[in-house]
Structure 1
Amino acid sequence: MDFSKALPSYQVKKKNIVRLILFTATFALVFINIYQPFDVSNWFEISKLELFLYSSLVILTGVLVVVISRIIMYHRAKRGKHISIGRYLLSIAIEIICMSLFYTLYELIILHDPRTFEEAFKVSILNTALVLLIPYTVSWLFFAWMDNKEKLEALEEGDIDTIKPEVNGMVMFNDDKGTMRLSIKQDDLLYLQGADNYVTIYYSHQQKQEKFLLRNTLKKLEDTLKPLNIIRCHRSYMVNFRKVKMIERTKDGLRIKLNTQPLVEIPVSKTYTESIFQLFGQSY
Structure 2
Amino acid sequence: MDLSQNIPAYLVKKKNIVRLILFTAAFALVFINIYAPFGVTTWFNISKLELLFYSSLVILTGVLVVVISRIIMYQSTKKGKTISIGRYLLWIAMEIISMSLFYTLYEVLILHDPRAVDEVIKISIQNTALVLLIPYTVTWLYFAWIDNKEKLEAIEEGTFEKVEPKGMIAFKDEKGIMRITIKVEDLLYLQGADNYVTIYYSNHQKQEKFLLRNTLKRLESTLKPFEIIRCHRSFMVNFQKVKIIERSKEGLRIKLNTQPLIEVPVSKTYTEVVFQLFGQSH
Q: Report TM bin, short chain.
A: 0.5 to 0.7
Residue 6 of structure 2 is aligned to residue 22 of structure 1: no
The verdict on how the C-alpha distance between 1:134 and 1:119 changes in structure 2, with shifts beyond 3 A counting, is same
Residue 83 of structure 2 is aligned to residue 104 of structure 1: no
C-alpha displacement of 1:181: 4.9
| Contiguous gaps of at least 5 residues in structure 1 | 203-207, 223-231, 238-267, 272-284
Given candidates 224, 227, 233, the residue that maps to 1:235 is 227
Deviations 1:61-111 (A, max 9, x none): 222111111111112222221210001101100000110011001001110
TM-score under structure 1 length normalisation? 0.64
Say how many residue pairs are matched.
218
Distance in 1 (alpha carbons) for counterparts of 2:202 and 2:97: 44
The verdict on how the C-alpha distance between 1:121 and 1:174 changes in structure 2, with shifts beyond 3 A counting, is same
- Written as runs of structure 1 = structure 2, the 5 A alignment for 1:6-85 is 6-37=6-37, 39-85=39-85
Report the RMSD for the aligned CA atoms in angstroms: 3.9
Retained in 2: the 8 A contact 1:171–1:183?
no
C-alpha displacement of 1:56: 1.3
Partner of 1:113 in structure 2? 113
Task: Report the residue type matching 1:175 in the other structure.
Answer: F
Distance in 2 (alpha carbons) for counterparts of 1:270 and 1:28: 63
Retained in 2: the 8 A contact 1:103–1:124?
yes
The verdict on how the C-alpha distance between 1:191 and 1:85 changes in structure 2, with shifts beyond 3 A counting, is farther
- Written as runs of structure 1 = structure 2, the 5 A alignment for 1:42-191 is 42-160=42-160, 163-165=161-163, 174-177=170-173, 178-181=176-179
Retained in 2: the 8 A contact 1:61–1:99?
no
Task: Report the residue type matching 2:227 in the other structure.
Answer: R
Residue 37 of structure 1 aligns to a residue whose secondary structure is coil
Task: Report the residue type matching 1:176 in the other structure.
Answer: K
C-alpha displacement of 1:270: 11
Distance in 2 (alpha carbons) for counterparts of 1:270 and 1:56: 66
| Contiguous gaps of at least 5 residues in structure 2 | 191-196, 213-217, 230-276
Deviations 1:45-74 (A, max 9, x none): 322122112211221122211111111111
Task: Report the residue type matching 1:85 in the other structure.
Answer: I
Percent identical pairs in the alignment equals 61
Retained in 2: the 8 A contact 1:25–1:63?
yes
Distance in 1 (alpha carbons) for counterparts of 2:7 and 2:50: 40
Retained in 1: the 8 A contact 2:169–2:184?
no
